[in-house]
Amino acid sequence: MKEIFVDINQLNLHYRQKAVLQDLDWTIRRGDNWLLGGTSGTGKTSLAKAIAGQEKYQGDIKINFDQESALPAQTLFVSSWYQFKNLEGDANFYYQQRYNHKQAKDTLTVQAELLKYGQEQSLDTNEVERLLIALNFTTFKDSQLIELSSGEHKKLQLIKALWLKPQLLIIDQPYTGLDVASRRNLNDLLDEISNQGVNLILISNDDELPVNINRFAIIENGQIHERSSFESTSVVHHKILGVLPAFLTERPVYNTDEIIRMKNVNIRYAEKEVLKNVNWEVRAGEKWLLQGHNGSGKSTLLSLINGDHPQAYANDIHLFGHKRGSGESIWDIKKRIGLISPEFHWYFDSTATVWESIASGFYDSVGLFQQIPYSKKVQLDELIEYFDLKQHKNELLKALPLGKQRLALLARTIIKNPQLLILDEPCQGLDQQQTQHFNQLVNELSNNGMTMIYVGHFETQLPTCIEKRILLENGEVKVVETILESV
């Protein structure tokens, strides 16, 4: 029998006086690589943090590192979120800051961050170049940390972990924000380090896994339950949608059929071209899928639409029938748009309750700073009920499991029944049931004539209402096509 590597006995963990893990026992043997799947909010991340020594717990966790191994006798936990700081050690950033090139200089470059990490861990700097190439990240060496998208930050996290090769590597949501090629290359790299002696624990609901994943488990009622396969960790119970609040069944009021028109749009940072001669038109009521590999320019394109990018004024961009720079303020634009993105989630007000977070969608604010009228309170309560968040409405948003945080922000996105709904990888952090439920909701919303731009890498996680597709490659439009004829 294989040697015991991690031995967990009678583990108990509470979060805000609520029992998350209860008398949990788990034995991990050397050479066993685990997938920890199942429902969002069951305690998977809390367990991972406890094993890595980042969460307080009661009970016993013993890790028997091989002191004769060439691999570091370490446990590395790669979180689903990448927390970085500026040059002065401050982690407080605002959403639009990543598009302001002058203010972005306040953070390290990718290359400087990797050099710093390599020195701290006494790593061979020659080895990291191969990882950068494998994850298609070499062109980001000179990028500031704050300029990176969620997928690019995930790649930086993964490169550090693969470079270190600790004896125990735990990755929370390893495929978040990664394009198809990057996911495939990541799995090859994970198999490679596993063959070199790294034990893996992946927290994921994705079925594209490394070959070396050979054990499967879920957490139910605070305890580990082993399963025989990936499929048995991801049973989806089809949830019946409630009645959509009446205000969301009404067609948005359009004053023009032209929602977006871009003509020869170019975005450049010094010598780096991010968007090149982009031409795109979106008409009222259309449902678009926006795709492209990590770094293709998707986030920048969306920032031009949402009014967050300062270079919008230097380009020929019409939004809702008006040319940017012709008198409309950023708030005139935002009142017509509902937006959710991983980056927006990062920078959202951490002191807001669920109720306040959703209500702020009426005013396009990051947090709620004013009283809302009774009519809006009624809509808010209807939406909270619809999203099954009633029991959490007075809790801090940050206190919820990541999946429920995302659902609350999705509710915020649609609360004003916007003319244009921008869903940038909206299902990051959701389990399979939540993903299916949300896309059912998107399909139902699409019936009211709302215009939509949906960004998603996973073909199996898309709503069926998508009609058109635009594909970016290295900042250029490569494909514009109709994929579903409107009825």
Could you report the per-residue pLDDT of 108-120, keeping only the tens digit for each? 899 999 999 999 9
**25 shares its domain with 117:** yes
How confident is the model over 440-448, as a mean pLDDT? 86
Render pLDDT for 249-300 as a digit per residue (tens, 0 to 9): 889 889 899 999 999 999 987 778 889 999 999 999 999 999 998 888 998 8
* Ranges 82-86, 189-193, 239-243, 314-318, most confident: 189-193
**343 shares its domain with 377:** yes
> What does the chain come to in residues?
487
Give the range among 127-131, 141-145, 199-203, 479-483 with minimum mean pLDDT.
Answer: 141-145
**181 shares its domain with 34:** yes
**470 shares its domain with 406:** yes
* Dist. CA 451–CA 286, nearest whole Å: 5
Count Cβ neighbours within 10 Å for each residue of 381-391 and write b for 16 or more, e otherwise.
ebbbebbebee
| Residue 487: inside a domain | no
Render pLDDT for 148-185 as a digit per residue (tens, 0 to 9): 877 888 899 999 999 999 999 999 999 887 888 899 99
Count Cβ atoms below 10 Å from residue 344 Cβ, excluding itself: 19
**218 shares its domain with 294:** no
| Residue 209: inside a domain | yes
Render pLDDT for 379-389 as a digit per residue (tens, 0 to 9): 999 999 988 89
**301 shares its domain with 401:** yes
| Residue 238: inside a domain | no
Q: What's the burial of 482, exposed, middle or buried (CB within 10 Å: 0-12/13-18/19+)? A: exposed
Question: pTM score > 0.85 for this model?
Answer: no
Range of the domain at 11: 4-233
Render pLDDT for 252-266 as a digit per residue (tens, 0 to 9): 889 899 999 999 999
**165 shares its domain with 208:** yes
**184 shares its domain with 147:** yes
Q: What is the pLDDT of residue 271?
A: 77
Q: What is the pLDDT of residue 387?
A: 86
| Confidence category of residue 12, pLDDT binned at 50, 70, 90 | very high
Q: What is the pLDDT of residue 239?
A: 66
| Residue 27: inside a domain | yes
Instruction: Pick the last residue of a domain from 233, 254, 279.
Output: 233
| Residue 356: inside a domain | yes
Q: Tokens in use for 179?
A: 């394009």
Q: What is the pLDDT of residue 106?
A: 67
How confident is the model over 182-207, as a mean pLDDT? 94
Instruction: Pick the last residue of a domain from 172, 201, 233.
Output: 233
Percent of the chain with pLDDT strictly greater than 70: 91
| Residue 89: inside a domain | yes
Number of separate domains in the chain: 2
Instruction: Pick the last residue of a domain from 233, 263, 286.
Output: 233
* Dist. CA 254–CA 405, nearest whole Å: 31
| Confidence category of residue 91, pLDDT binned at 50, 70, 90 | very low
Q: What is the pLDDT of residue 97?
A: 46
**229 shares its domain with 268:** no
Q: What is the CATH number of the domain that holds 90?
A: 3.40.50.300
**300 shares its domain with 399:** yes
Count Cβ atoms below 10 Å from residue 394 Cβ, excluding itself: 10
How confident is the model over 68-88, as a mean pLDDT? 81
Residue 273 phi, psi dihedral angles, 5° rounding: -90, 120
**273 shares its domain with 336:** yes
**305 shares its domain with 410:** yes
| Residue 241: inside a domain | no
| Residue 240: inside a domain | no
